[in-house]
Amino acid sequence: MNAAKHRFVLNGLKLFDISLLILSFGLATVFVAYGDKGVGLGQFFSMRVKLSNCIAFVSIVLAWHIIFSFCGLYESKRLSARRAELVDVLKATALSSVLLAVLAESHRITMITPSFLASFWLVSSLLLTASRLVLRPLLASLRRHGRNLRYVLVLGTNPRAIDFARTIEAKPELGYRVLGFVDDDWQGMADFNQTGFPLVSAYKGLPEFLRRNVVDEVAMYLPLGSFYENSCQAAALCEQHGITLRFDGDIFGLKKSRSTPDEFDGHQYVATSAAVAHDWWSLAVKRILDIAFSLILLILLAPVFVVVAVLIQFYSPGPVLFRQERIGLNKRRFRIFKFRTMVRNAEKMMAALEKFNEASGPVFKIAKDPRITPIGKILRRTSIDELPQLFNVLKGDMSLVGPRPLPVRDYEGFSEDWQRRRFSVRPGITCLWQVSGRSSLPFEQWMKLDLQYMDEWSLWLDIKILAQTVSAVLKGSGAA
C-alpha cells in the first residue's frame, strides 16, 4: 500500500472511530433520558444545540482523537496480538469516559451523570471492540491475497535469521514477504543453502540491492560482536533510504527479559527487564487499587485494630506494633509494620534459637517458637498480625499482592542469584506462596512461586490471589 492510500485508509479509520464515539454519546443520552424520569429527551437535546455546547462538544471530539492516538490505536497492529489491541481500545474508551467525568465536574454539567458515563463507556467499548474484531480478519484476508504487503530483507544466514523467515512465511495473514537473505560466505552457508531461501546479495552489494528493489523493512540478525562494522553500515543505509530496520532485541540470549524501546535525553536505546511487564496502564490501575482498598480496609478494620492493641498490651506490655527492616523494590530497605506477636526482646533471643530452625533455605521458622505470646499465636493463625502492612501499602513500600518482603538476615542467606529477581517488583502482603501452603512449602518452591507470579502477572491474577487469600486465612493453611 502506497503512502497516499495508507493515509486515506488511516484517516477513514479515525473518522469511523469518532463517529462511533458520537453514536455512543447519543445512545447514552437516550438511555439516561428514558431512564431518568426527571429529565426529558427533548430537554437533553435542547441543551446541546446551543453554540457554546456545540463548541464544547467539538473540543471533546478533538480530545477523544488525541486520546485514541495516544493509546496507539492508529499504529500498525499487524504484529500485535488481538488481545493487546483490544486492551488498547478499552484504555482509550476508559480515558474518554474519564475526560467526560472531569468536564462534568469542573463545568457543573448535570446531564452527565454516573449512569450516563457508565452507559457511554459500555456502548463505546462494545462498538469499538466489535469494529476491531471485524477489521482485523478483513485485513488478514487482504494480506493473504497479496494486498497491503511489506517486503523484508534479512541480514545474516544463521539459525535465528532462518527461524525468523520461517515464522514470517508461516503467517501470511501478517502481510510480510521475505525478499531473501544477505550474507558473505561462511562455514554455515551449506546448511543455509538447504533451506531453499534465496541469497540475494553479499554485504558489498547491499547498497545497490536497496537502490534497485522494493524493500520496506530490513531484519538484522548479525552477530554484533564479529559483524559490528557491517551492522553499523547496514543501519546507516536503512536510515538514508528511510527503510525500517528491525533487529532481535534478545541479542544477549536472555531467557526471561523483555526488550522495549526507550528514550533518554533525546537518545534512543533498548531497555531489557525480567521484572513484571511494565505496562503503565495496568501498573497504574494496580497502584490505584492498592490505595483504594487499603484506605477502605483501614477504615473498616479500625475497631479491630483497637481491640488487638488492647489484647497485645494485656498479654505482653510493650509496643503494639513490631517494626523491622525489610528488603523491598530493587533491594530498597524499608520499615515494615506488623502487630507484635512475640515478647519484646524476641530478636535478641534469635541467635540462641538458630539451631532449632525447621525451615529450608535462609529463612527462620520454628513451629512452636517460644517467643510467641498467647495472643500472638491467634494473630498469626488468623493473619491479623499482617494488617498494619496496609500502612506500608499506602506509603508505596508494598502492594496488596507481590512477593513477601524478607528480613535483611534472610536476604543475606540467599545463595542463588536467580532467586533475587523476586526483588525487582514491589513486595506484597499476599502472594502465590501465601495461598499455596505458606510455611509448609520448601524455600526453593517458595522462590519459584514468586517468579511464576512475576512471569504470569496480570490484574486478574492479583484479584484471584486476593480471593484465594481469604480462603487460606479462614482455613489457617500453612500459618506459622
Q: Give the model confidence (pLDDT) of 203-213 as tens digits.
A: 999 999 999 99
Count, residues in the chain: 480
Does residue 137 carry a pLDDT above 50? yes
Rounded mean pLDDT, 150-159? 91
* CA–CA gap between residue 112 and residue 184 (Å, rounded): 66
What percent of the chain clears pLDDT 90, i.e. is strictly above it? 33
Is residue 480's pLDDT more than 60?
no
Calculate the average pLDDT of the chain: 84
257 closest CA partner among 32, 393, 418: 418
CATH of region 150-248, choose from 3.40.50.20, 3.40.50.10810, 3.40.47.10, 2.40.70.10: 3.40.50.20
Least confident range from 176-180, 259-263, 411-415, 422-426: namely 259-263
Cβ count near 479 (within 10 Å): 16
Residue 251 has pLDDT above 70, yes or no: no
278 to each of 283, 291, 402, 428, how far by Cα in Å? Answer: 7, 19, 15, 17
Closest CA to 373 of 445, 437, 432, 320: 320
| Interior angle at CA 287, CA 281 and CA 291, nearest 5 | 145
Using alpha carbons, select from 96, 103, 98 the residue that is nearest to residue 71: 96
Amino acid at 382: T
**Average pLDDT of the residues in 320-338:** 94
Task: State the angle between helix axes of 374-382 and 302-315 in degrees (0 to 180), rounded to the nearest 10.
Answer: 150
For the chain, domain boundaries? 3-144, 150-248, 280-475
Q: What does the pLDDT read at residue 367?
A: 76
189: cell is 552457508
Helix/strand/coil for 267? strand
Kindly indicate the confidence band of residue 290, based on its pLDDT and cuts at 50, 70 and 90.
Answer: very high
For 250, list phi and psi in degrees, rounded to 5.
-90, 60
**CA 376 – CA 314 distance, rounded (Å):** 12
Q: CB count, 10 Å around CB of 401?
A: 27
**Long-range contact set of residues 289-295: C-beta below 8 Å, sequence gap at least 24:** 289/400, 289/459, 289/462, 290/393, 290/394, 290/399, 290/400, 291/393, 291/394, 293/400, 294/390, 294/391, 294/393, 294/394, 294/400, 295/394
Q: Three-class SS of residue 19? A: helix
**In this predicted structure, what is the pLDDT of residue 113?**
82
Q: Which pLDDT value is given to residue 48?
A: 47
